[in-house]
Amino acid sequence: MVFFMAMVGLSFGADEIGVEFGVMPEAVVSVARKVVNEPLGVRMAAVSEPFLGFPYLVGGHGEGLPPDTDPPARYDTFDCLTFLEEVLALSLAGDPVGVPALRDALRYRDGQVGYTSRHHFMMSQWVPKNIDAGFLKDITPSLGETHRVEKVLSPQIWANWHGVNALNLQPEDLPVGHFGLNVLSLDAAEAALDRIPPGAIILTIRQPKDWKPIVVSHVGFVLPRKQGEGVRVRHSTRTGTGLVRDHFLGEYLERMRWYQRSVEGVTILMPLEQGPRRIIED
């Protein structure tokens, strides 16, 4: 933990880390290698530290090819999910050279890069596919009383949802079926604050609407606790000026009570180690 306290004191600006599309900044490579044998939560905090203060941008990542010609990797801006994917890939890889393969495995069906194989939808694709692949474990039920939020997705629901017009997907590319998540109410989540482990992923779950296929609206992850401070969550958020930033999780949960579209609660997922850590000798 002493090492972590030293690491979180680091900060980098975009100019300082030499941001360039698709090129992992040397400062990020260096940090990832320094913390390679630290606990997962410490690694996630350390590798994401250089990105604090970077701007939020939705839809800035793609495949580099039509229909989405945005770069697969960039280190100047993120949305909430691409930020999480990059942090997970940096943290789970034994070395930064393995980050692209891990990122692809998290982002795409069977790791096969392509717009139609991308996990566009959290509840019906990203979460269940990454649980099945062994990258994540749902620990929500272990933290308190949960309830289920479920959706039946049909071709009719997709056809009636205006958001589908922003996607270059055909009807056959859209997930259909019965999907669900275990959810802690905001009260239950606040009661469990001290038991949520570092590195845990926090999904914000909105109250489901019959006509709307989307219930997951945001994602971040829990940081290791500093002595004398509360639990913090790190995320790329459009809130306020739109930045990668930290919030105290208790305050963040309390703020959810005032969202215009009511929040059902949160789902907590834990990333899983992907094998023995690589040991780097000095």
Residue 176: pLDDT over 50:
yes
Question: Which among 126, 154, 21, 97 has a CA at the least distance from the CA of 280?
Answer: 97
Rounded-to-integer distance, Cα 92 and Cα 135, Å:
9
Q: Are residues 108 and 117 in contact, defined by beta-carbon separation less than 8 angstroms? A: yes
pLDDT band at 233 (very low <50, low <70, confident <90, very high): very high
Give the pLDDT confidence of 192-228 residue by residue, as tens digits.
Answer: 999 999 999 999 999 999 999 999 999 999 999 988 8
Q: What is the pLDDT of residue 22?
A: 72
Residue spans of the domains in the chain: they are 2-271
Q: How many CB atoms lie within 10 A of CB 182?
A: 19
With CA atoms as reference, report the closest residue to 231 among 259, 260, 264, 253. Answer: 253
Residue 92 has pLDDT above 50, yes or no: yes
Bridge partners of 265, per DSSP, are 205
Peptide bond into 67 cis (omega under 30): yes
CATH H-level, domain 2-271: superfamily = putative xylanase like domain (2.30.260.10)
- Say if strands 216-222 and 232-237 run parallel, antiparallel, or are unpaired: antiparallel
In terms of DSSP bridges, do strands 216-222 and 177-184 run parallel, antiparallel, or are they unpaired?
unpaired
How sure is the predictor about 260, in pLDDT bands with cuts at 50, 70 and 90? Answer: confident
Please name the residue that has the structure tokens 């717009």: 115
Cα atoms found within 13 Å of the Cα of residue 160, Cβ hemisphere only: 10
Tokens of 12: 């980098």
Q: DSSP readout, the chain?
A: -HHHHHHTT----TTTTT-BTTB--HHHHHHHHHTTTS-HHHHHHHHHGGGTTPBB-TT----SBTTB-S-S--SS-B-HHHHHHHHHHHHHSSSGGGHHHHHHHHHBGGG---TTTB---IIIIIHHHHHHTTSEEE-GGGGS-EEEEEEEE-HHHHHH-GGGGGS---GGGS--EEEEEEEE-HHHHHHTGGGSPTT-EEEEEEPP-TT----EEEEEEEPPPPTT---EEEEEE-STT-EEEEEEHHHHHHHHTT-SSPEEEEEEEEE---SSPPP---
Q: What is the average pLDDT score of the chain? A: 90
Pair 99, 24: CB distance under 8 Å: yes
**pLDDT for the residue numbered 12:** 38
Least confident span in 18-27, 59-68, 241-250: 18-27
* pLDDT (mean) for 21-45: 93
Please list, residue by residue across 41-77, b when 16 or more beta carbons sit within 10 angstroms of its beta carbon and e when fewer do: bbbbbbbbbbbbebebbeebbbbeeeebeeebbbbeb
**C-alpha–C-alpha distance, residues 261 and 67, integer Å:** 31
Question: Residue 17 pLDDT > 50, yes or no?
Answer: no
